[in-house]
Amino acid sequence: MSQPLITLDFLATAPAPDASALPTEVRVSAATRTGAGRKLYIESYGCQMNFSDSEIVSSILAAEGFDTTEDLAAADLVLLNTCSIREKAEQTVRMRLTQINSHKKRRPGMLVGVLGCMAERLKSRFLEEEKIVDLVVGPDAYRDLPQLIAQVDGGHKAVNVLLSREETYADITPVRLNSNGVSAFISIMRGCDNMCSFCVVPFTRGRERSRDAHSIVQEARDLVAAGYKEVTLLGQNVDSYKWASTDGQERVNFAQLLERVALVSPQLRVRFSTSHPKDITDEVLHTMARHDNICKYLHLPAQSGNSRVLALMNRTYDRAWYEERVAAVRRILGDDCAISTDMIAGFCSETEEEHQDTLSLIDHVQYDMAYMFFYSERPGTLAARKLADDVPLETKKRRLQEIIDRQQAHSRARYERGVGRVHQVLVENFSKRSKDDLSGRNSQNQVVIFPKQNFQKGDYVNVLVHTNTGGSLLGEAVQIS
């Protein structure tokens, strides 16, 4: 079943962090009960790529005799798959490690490790200075986990944070621990070549490399055979996907890959994330338009509405370019295609007028949803080396709240468009409010809730929506002749 967010009770004794700066999600991997001798507990922070990576880690360690557990106190090995995008994310993980080490004192044999994006930057501090973990493993070194665990079992600390130009884990079948049994992630590429000045991803996940197209399509076929109805193609920048066969006779770009996955089954919904505005081509948009089972939803991070700030961010496009890409989306896919974004308030030297440009871009595009943050300087980035973080914190917070308020108004309006219409909904689970109602999403990624009747998880249901709650659509199942 899909894993809920964990309760961050360990933050109760600390000053309350700004909610906008917490990791996007925190998930505990579901338990497996194969009778294996050792128990693995994985907590994943941040983005979908981390959740997908935790499934790869679980698969690797399942072959080494580990069952996953949802009970931290019962674990022999505790792994935190970390996010390093925001400062508060790192603070959250640090506090969590303190709590986990209190369990370790009661169970000295418990091994504690950090995976993912924080590994390279904080390896020395975690292992040698603070001594709060036993092993540190970067995102390209998960195959080495069995050897690293053996090293720790032998009484030594262990670390491997080397980045790879080839590793894609294409041959590893993930253990679908973070799935609801209906939707699954497929990682199609790793790393990022976009050197945005505010971002640590190129340093924590390395250069871009694309996975073999045939292995991706086969994974989609295997998921359909296992009863899954939706896949999300994942990458730091999926639109820059490009794979070539060893002999160079076959080349596949993202639009072509997207079509191959869509053709696996008309009953398989296809989503993808994340897109970089510079790479979202008309070819991709026309591919989306041709196939009903490719969801009409794009995550198109703008980061700012001002061209000077975008140049400082090294986004490689200006506002006019971004607006042209949005116009292409509307021209090819129509006004009903959902667009979401990321916005950063208070980037280095941002003026009040430039902040107003971000608000005006939100008005121009009318996003369905946004991830919104104030700027948090990350060590090692170009911005940290070259630019002064000179916007006062209170100004950042005020600008962020203005962005949130403006976006919430547009989100409500975009949801209101769905009222009075019939939506095809893929049922994912019961509604959080009642077992008498089911919950799923439409093509635009909006949550739709309706009475259960005889429908069940995994069904496609046509729902006539009668109410917009601001965060979901309510309706009744209908028959379409």
Distance, in Å, from the CA atom of 233 to the CA atom of 190, rounded to the nearest integer, reads: 12
Q: Is the peptide bond before 168 cis (omega within 30 degrees of 0)?
A: no
Question: What are the pLDDT digits (tens) for 391-419?
Answer: 999 999 999 999 999 999 999 999 999 99
When comparing pLDDT for 202 and 395, which is higher?
A: 395
pLDDT of 18 reads 33
User: Can you list the positions of beta strands (E) in 351-433?
Assistant: 369-374, 422-430
Which of the listed ranges 115-124, 174-183, 426-435, 445-454 does the model predict with the highest average pLDDT?
445-454
Q: Phi and psi (nearest 5°) for 40?
A: -115, 130
pLDDT at 87 over 80: no
- Using N-to-C axis directions, what is the helix angle for 213-225 and 254-262, rounded to 10°? 20
Question: What are the pLDDT digits (tens) for 219-255?
Answer: 999 999 999 999 999 998 999 999 999 998 999 999 9
Those residues whose C-beta lies under 8 Å from the C-beta of residue 375, and which sit 6 or more positions away, are 198, 344, 345, 346, 347, 348, 350, 389, 391, 396
Both tokens of 136, joined, read: 């540190």
The strand order across the sheet containing 183-187 reads: 183-187, 230-234, 269-273
pLDDT of 25 reads 65
Using only the alpha carbons of the chain, give its radius of gyration.
22
pLDDT of 430 reads 93
pLDDT of 380 reads 84
Contact yes or no for 438/330 (Cβ under 8 A): no
Distance, in Å, from the CA atom of 288 to the CA atom of 323, rounded to the nearest integer, reads: 19
- Selection from 343, 316, 327 nearest residue 410 by Cα: 343
Written as one letter, the residue type at 260 is R
Per-position DSSP letters for 23-72, written without gaps between them: -S-EEEPPP--S--SEEEEEEEESSHHHHHHHHHHHHHHHTTTEEE-S-G
Count CA atoms within 13 Å of residue 126 on its CB side.
29
Distance, in Å, from the CA atom of 96 to the CA atom of 9, rounded to the nearest integer, reads: 10
pLDDT of 385 reads 94
pLDDT at 478 over 70: yes
pLDDT at 72 over 60: yes
* Mean pLDDT value across residues 114-132: 76
pLDDT at 300 over 90: yes
Contact yes or no for 133/127 (Cβ under 8 A): yes
Distance, in Å, from the CA atom of 111 to the CA atom of 39, rounded to the nearest integer, reads: 11
Contact yes or no for 465/459 (Cβ under 8 A): no
Distance, in Å, from the CA atom of 174 to the CA atom of 187, rounded to the nearest integer, reads: 10
Distance, in Å, from the CA atom of 24 to the CA atom of 371, rounded to the nearest integer, reads: 9
When comparing pLDDT for 27 and 386, which is higher?
A: 386
| Residue 2: band (very low, low, confident or very high) from pLDDT cuts 50, 70, 90 | very low
User: Can you list the positions of beta strands (E) in 152-274?
Assistant: 158-160, 183-187, 189-190, 209-210, 230-234, 242-244, 251-253, 269-273
- Selection from 81, 15, 63, 293 nearest residue 173 by Cα: 63
pLDDT of 35 reads 64
Question: What are the pLDDT digits (tens) for 273-289?
Answer: 989 999 999 999 999 99
